[in-house]
Structure 1
Amino acid sequence: MHRWSDLADVPADVGPTVVTLGNFDGVHRGHANVLRRMAADARARGWSAVAVTFTPHPLQVHRPDDAPPLLTGDEDRLDLLEATGLDAVLLLPYSLQFARQSPEEFVRTYLVDGLHARTVVVGRDVRFGWQNSGDLSTMVDLGRRHGFDVEVIDDITPDDGGPADDASGGARRWSSTWVREALAAGDVEQASLVLGRPHRLRGIVVHGDARGRELGFPTANLAQDAVGMVPADGVYAGWLRRTRRADGTPVDEVRLPAAVSIGTNPTFDGVQRRVEAYVLDRTDLDLYDDEVVLDLVARLRPTLRFSSVDELLDQMHADVERVREVLAADD
């Protein structure tokens, strides 16, 4: 898949194309279903399938205090988009200056002149251009004037896009909002159902208080700027994988079973909220300054305050055994 960050990156002979617009935060099952169909349709016509998306999320520019936590960073988002079969993604830097384009300017510059779109795929609630003044009817009108068709995608629900046993989600559409609600409640299993995969955190391993090592459970502590919405406090079963060394060298290592603690460590009167992962049965790992990803499989329990270190240790041993059970079923 081609990854473009500017129209200057787009080959002059690109096209014809089928293009869709969106933020695609999380690239959940609704996104994936639409994009796979779009890519297949484009391939059948001998065209290219292209997604246009933005960084940072527009709400982080317009209303940073109200912007929702992102489910994925750009690296994971692009990898997930590639997995749908797209031919290219145009990841555009979003700024207040960019947002000042009229709907006509945006469509003509990026979709018509830049990508030579023959079909534009949008949802019924599409908004684009200055102050979101462009909507579906605007896009249809611009299509008539500039020679592209507009294909409208209706909401995809579990009954449409998932196996029959996903119907526990009812008729609610797959959405990033649904994932955030599940994560805020600590329900990473529900989040995984909507995403179609475990929810992922990505970050650099930093030094902590070394308290876990003193207790016999050395942990990899993610930096505060780790990417991916951090779910509710608690203890989780998950998988840890190192993806990049401190010098920036990419690595492709096997995933390792981990017990993940999220919270302030109330037993020791902690204040800062942290994400810490203990790789089962490993005291030899040196991950400092390396990048790792954590894929969260299940929440085992909420964060608790223990009356003594011995009580905490007993619970930690029990947590580790429970993690083994959960991940044995997931492997």
Structure 2
Amino acid sequence: MLRWTDLTQIPEGFGPSVVTLGNFDGVHRGHRAVLATVIEQARERDAQAVAVTFDPHPVAVLRPDQAPRTITPLGLRLDLLEGTGLDAVLVQEFTAELAGWTPERYVEEVFVEALGATAVVVGEDTRFGVRNSGDVSTLRALGDKHGFDVVVLKDLGGDTRWSSSQVRELVATGDVAAAAEILGRPHRISGTVVHGDHRGRELGYPTANLPQEMGGLVPADGVYAGWLLRLDRPEEDAERVLPAAVSIGTNPTFDGHQRRVEAYALDRTDLDLYGEQVGVELVERLRPTERFDSVEELLEQMAHDVERCREVLTSIVPS
């Protein structure tokens, strides 16, 4: 898949293409249904399937105090978009200057001149251009003027609309299982493994600690069943994906104050993961974070948590 971060990187004369526009945060099942239509239309027209997206999220520029927390960092978002079968993705840096473009200018410079669009696929609630002044009727009028078709898709997801906002709400409450139903895969957070207090190793449960600046939306505190992905390893490596118990919180039993994400690879005390890029995929929240009166009580609960993780993960194939 071709990846561009500026209009100047698009080859002159590129096209014809079928284009869609969106933030695609999470690349959830609703997004993938839209992208499947883009790809289908492109194949029928002997054209390139292209998605246009933004970084950062437009709200982060226009109304920073209301900016949504990012579900998937840009790198993962692009990998997920590539997995849909798209031919190219244009990531536009969203700036105040770009926000001031009229719908007409945006369509002409991006869809028509740069991408040679023969069709544009959008949802029925699509808005674009300065102050969101462009809508589907605007796009259709511009399509008539410039010679491209407009394919409008209705909301997807049945009675419950699939949306990035809904995923954020579910993850924030710790309901990662319900979030996975919308995402079509477990929610992932990622980062480079750093040193912690080494307390887990002392207790017999060594953990991979993610940095404070990690990628992806961190869910509510608690203990989760999940997968530890060693992202530096090839996909066919048997050691790349490991079942894990994941703790998110401040370690209240030890009077901790810093919120952390720690993953214990089940039954593995031999791993040295420091400096590795890892992903933590969260399958199910087992319980909230608790403060225990003694280390012995904590160890008893941790043993129970590990067994529950084993039960949850035994019948699941990692993504």
Q: Same fold (TM over 0.5)?
A: yes
Residue in structure 1 matching 2:286, options 300, 324, 328:
300
- The offset of 1:82, in angstroms, is 1.4
Deviations 1:41-89 (A, max 9, x none): 2112211110000111111212222111111011111111112221111
Q: Report the Cα distance in structure 2 between the residues aligned to 1:43 and 1:226, rounded to whole angstroms.
A: 38
Q: Report the Cα distance in structure 2 between the residues aligned to 1:175 and 1:24, rounded to whole angstroms.
A: 10
Give the share of equivalent positions with the same residue, in percent: 61
| Counterpart residue type for residue 54 of structure 1 | F
| Counterpart residue type for residue 76 of structure 1 | L
- CA-based RMSD of the aligned residues comes to 1.3
8 Å Cα contact 2:5/2:92 also seen in 1: yes
Alignment of 1:174-253 (within 5 A): 174-244=162-232, 251-252=234-235, 253=237
Q: Report the Cα distance in structure 2 between the residues aligned to 1:307 and 1:92, rounded to whole angstroms.
A: 52
State the TM-score, normalizing by the size of structure 2: 0.95
Tell me the SS of whatever aligns to 2:262: strand
| Counterpart residue type for residue 248 of structure 2 | I
Tell me the SS of whatever aligns to 1:65: helix
Q: Report the Cα distance in structure 1 between the residues aligned to 2:234 and 2:43, rounded to whole angstroms.
A: 33
Q: Report the Cα distance in structure 1 between the residues aligned to 2:278 and 2:184, rounded to whole angstroms.
A: 21
Instruction: Name the structure 1 match of 2:22.
Output: 22
Instruction: Name the structure 1 match of 2:66.
Output: 66
Q: Report the Cα distance in structure 2 between the residues aligned to 1:225 and 1:123, rounded to whole angstroms.
A: 33
8 Å Cα contact 2:190/2:279 also seen in 1: yes
- Of residues 70-79 and 132-141 in structure 1, the stretch that sits farther from structure 2 once superposed is 132-141
1:289 and 2:262 aligned: no
Instruction: Name the structure 1 match of 2:315.
Output: 329
Q: Report the Cα distance in structure 1 between the residues aligned to 2:51 and 2:66, rounded to whole angstroms.
A: 26
8 Å Cα contact 2:34/2:121 also seen in 1: no
- The offset of 1:302, in angstroms, is 0.8
- Of residues 297-306 and 250-259 in structure 1, the stretch that sits farther from structure 2 once superposed is 250-259
Deviations 1:228-258 (A, max 9, x none): 11111110011111113xxxxx654420111
- The offset of 1:101, in angstroms, is 1.4
Instruction: Name the structure 2 match of 1:318.
Output: 304
Deviating above 6 A after TM superposition, structure 1's stretches of 4 or more consecutive aligned residues are: none
8 Å Cα contact 2:192/2:278 also seen in 1: yes
Q: Report the Cα distance in structure 1 between the residues aligned to 2:39 and 2:146, rounded to whole angstroms.
A: 22
Deviations 1:259-281 (A, max 9, x none): 00011111111111111101111
Instruction: Name the structure 2 match of 1:161.
Output: none
Q: Report the Cα distance in structure 2 between the residues aligned to 1:141 and 1:41, rounded to whole angstroms.
A: 20
Deviations 1:118-171 (A, max 9, x none): 11111122111122222222212221222212111110014xxxxxxxxxxxx0
Instruction: Name the structure 1 match of 2:102.
Output: 102
Instruction: Name the structure 2 match of 1:8.
Output: 8
Q: Report the Cα distance in structure 1 between the residues aligned to 2:190 and 2:61, rounded to whole angstroms.
A: 22
8 Å Cα contact 2:222/2:285 also seen in 1: yes
- Of residues 24-33 and 174-183 in structure 1, the stretch that sits farther from structure 2 once superposed is 174-183
Q: Report the Cα distance in structure 2 between the residues aligned to 1:221 and 1:114, rounded to whole angstroms.
A: 44
Alignment of 1:30-41 (within 5 A): 30-41=30-41
Deviations 1:174-221 (A, max 9, x none): 111111121122111101111111111111111111111111111111
Deviations 1:17-37 (A, max 9, x none): 111000000011011112112
* Alignment coverage as a number of residue pairs: 314
Q: Report the Cα distance in structure 2 between the residues aligned to 1:182 and 1:291, rounded to whole angstroms.
A: 26
- Of residues 23-32 and 61-70 in structure 1, the stretch that sits farther from structure 2 once superposed is 61-70
Tell me the SS of whatever aligns to 2:120: strand
1:52 and 2:37 aligned: no
> What are structure 1's unaligned runs of at least 5 residues?
159-170, 245-249
Q: Report the Cα distance in structure 2 between the residues aligned to 1:138 and 1:41, rounded to whole angstroms.
A: 21
Tell me the SS of whatever aligns to 2:227: strand
Alignment of 1:93-132 (within 5 A): 93-132=93-132
- The offset of 1:304, in angstroms, is 0.6
Q: Report the Cα distance in structure 2 between the residues aligned to 1:304 and 1:148, rounded to whole angstroms.
A: 58
- The offset of 1:13, in angstroms, is 2.9
Q: Report the Cα distance in structure 2 between the residues aligned to 1:120 and 1:36, rounded to whole angstroms.
A: 13
